[in-house]
Amino acid sequence: MAAPVNIIVGSHVWVEDSALAWVDGEVTRINGQELHVHTTKGKTIVTNVSKVFPKDTEAPPGGVDDMTRLSYLHEPGVLQNLATRYELNEIYTYTGNILIAINPFQRLPHLYDTHMMEQYKGAGFGELSPHVFAVADVAYRAMINEGKSNSILVSGESGAGKTETTKMLMRYLAYLGGRSGVEGRTVEQQVLESNPVLEAFGNAKTVRNNNSSRFGKFVEIQFDKSGRISGAAIRTYLLERSRVCQISDPERNYHCFYLLCAAPPEVREKFKLESPQSYHYLNQSKSIELEGVSDAHEYLATRRAMDIVGISEEEQDAIFRVVAAILHLGNIEFAKGVEIDSSVLKDGKSRFHLNVTAELLMCDAKSLEDALIKRVMITPEEVITRTLDPEAALGSRDALAKTIYSRLFDWIVEKINNSIGQDPNSKSLIGVLDIYGFESFKHNSFEQFCINFTNEKLQQHFNQHVFKMEQEEYTKEAINWSYIEFVDNQDVLDLIEKKPGGIIALLDEACMFPKSTHETFAQKLYQTFPKNRRFIKPKLSRTSFTISHYAGEVTYLADLFLDKNKDYVVAEHQDLLTASRCPFVVGLFPPLPVESSKSSKFSSIGSRFKLQLQSLMETLSTTEPHYIRCVKPNNVLKPAIFENINIIQQLRCGGVLEAIRISCAGYPTRRTFDEFLLRFGVLYPDVLDGKYDEKVACQMLLDKMGIKGYQIGKTKVFLRAGQMAELDARRAEVLGNAARIIQRQMRTYMAHKEYILIRKAAIQLQACWRALSACKQFEILRREAAAVKIQKHFRCFVASKSYQTLRTSAINLQTGLRAMTARDEFRHRKQTKAAVFIQAHYRCHKAYSYYKSLQKATLYTQCCWRRRVARKELRALKMAARETGALKEAKDKLEKRVEELTWRLQLEKRLRSELEETKAQETAKLQDALRMMQIQIDEANAKVIKEREAARKAIEEAPPVVKETPVIVQDTEKIDALTAEVGSLKALLLTQKQEVEEARKSLIEADARNADLIKKFEDVEKRAEQLQESNQRLEEKLSNMESENQVLRQQALTMSPTGKSISARPRTMIIQRTPENGNVQNGETRVATPETTLVLSNSREPESEEKPQKSLNEKQQENQDLLIKCITQDLGFSSGKPVAALLIYKSLLHWRSFEVERTTVFDRIIQTIASAIEVHDSNDVLGYWLCNTSTLLTLLQHTLKASGATHMTPQRRRSSSASLFGRMSQGLRASPQSAGLSFLNGRVLGRLDDLRQVEAKYPALLFKQQLTAFLEKIYGMIRDNLKKEISPLLGLCIQAPRTSRASLVKGRSQANAVAQQALIAHWQSIVKSLDNYLKTMKANFVPPFLVRKVFTQIFSFINVQLFNSLLLRRECCSFSNGEYVKSGLAELEQWCCYATEEYAGTAWDELKHIRQAVGFLVIHQKPKKTLNEITNELCPVLSIQQLYRISTMYWDDKYGTHSVSSEVISSMRVMMTEDSNNAVSSSFLLDDDSSIPFSVDDISKSMPQVEVGDIEPPPLIRENSGFVFLHQRTE
Binding site per annotation, positions for ATP: 156-163
Q: Are 908 and 994 in contact (CB under 8 A)?
A: no
Which residues contribute to the annotated binding site?
Answer: 156-163
Q: What's the rounded Cα separation, in Å, for the pair 73 and 446?
A: 36
Report d(CA 668, CA 664) in Å as an integer.
Answer: 5
Is residue 1356 part of the annotated active site? The answer reads no
Cis peptide before 500 (omega within 30 of 0): yes
In the DSSP assignment, the letter for residue 1431 is: I
Beta-carbon contacts of residue 12 (< 8 Å; ≥ 6 apart): 24, 25, 26, 27, 54, 55, 57
Active site residue 209: yes
Among residues 66, 64, 169, the alpha carbon closest in space to that of 125 is found at 66
> Which residues neighbour 128 within 8 Å (Cβ) at sequence distance 6 or greater?
119, 120, 134, 1368, 1369
Peptide bond into 109 cis (omega under 30): no
995 tagged catalytic:
no
Tell me if residue 116 falls in helix, strand or coil. Answer: helix
Strand partners, 535: 547
Catalytic position from the list 163, 1153, 1340, 1359? 163
Contact 125, 97 (CB under 8 A): yes
Given a contact cutoff of 8 angstroms between Cβ atoms, the answer to whether 1362 and 1290 are in contact is yes
CA distances to 290, 416, 486, 674, 773 from 759, rounded to whole Å, are 80, 95, 73, 52, 21
d(CA 241, CA 253): 10
Q: Which of 159, 202, 722, 1183 is catalytic?
A: 159
From 188, 193, 439, 883, the catalytic residue: 439
Residues, the chain: 1531
φ/ψ bin of 786: left (φ > 0), alpha (ψ from -120 to 50), beta (otherwise): alpha
CB 1144 within 8 A of CB 1123: yes
| 136: amino acid identity, one letter | A
Long-range contacts of 831-839 (CB under 8 A, 24+ apart): none
Neighbours of 1180 (CB within 10 A): 12
Q: Which of 81, 84, 93, 212 is catalytic?
A: 212
Please say if 439 is a catalytic residue: yes
User: Among the options 158, 669, 672, 1043, which is catalytic?
Assistant: 158
H/E element holding 270? helix 265-271
Those residues with Cβ within 8 angstroms of residue 1312's Cβ, 6 or more apart along the chain or in another chain: 1303, 1304
Alpha helices in 498-582 (DSSP H): 503-512, 518-528, 561-565, 571-578
Known active-site residue 213: yes
Q: How far apart are CA 750 and CA 743, in angstroms?
A: 10
- Name which of 981, 979, 973, 885 is nearest 929 in CA terms: 981
**Catalytic residue of the set 209, 1199, 1268, 1356:** 209
Q: Which candidate in 77, 202, 437, 1227 is catalytic?
A: 437
Please report, to the nearest 10 degrees, the dihedral formed by the alpha carbons of residues 1111, 1117, 1118, 1122 taken in order.
160
Specify whether 606 is catalytic.
Answer: no
Beta carbons within 10 angstroms of residue 1082's beta carbon: 8
- Alpha-carbon distance of 936 to 360, in angstroms, equals 103
State how far the Cα of 620 lies from the Cα of 1021, in Å rounded to an integer. 78
| Contact by Cβ (8 Å): 715, 672 | yes
DSSP bridge partners of 669:
719
Question: Of 278, 547, 579, 336, which Cα lies nearest the Cα of 438?
Answer: 547
Q: What is the 3-state secondary structure (H, E, C) of 1122-1174?
A: HHHHHHCCCCCEECCEEHHHHHHHHHHHHCCHHHCCCCCHHHHHHHHHHHHHH
Identify the sign of the CA torsion 685, 686, 690, 695. negative
Active-site residue set: 158-159, 163, 209, 212-213, 437, 439
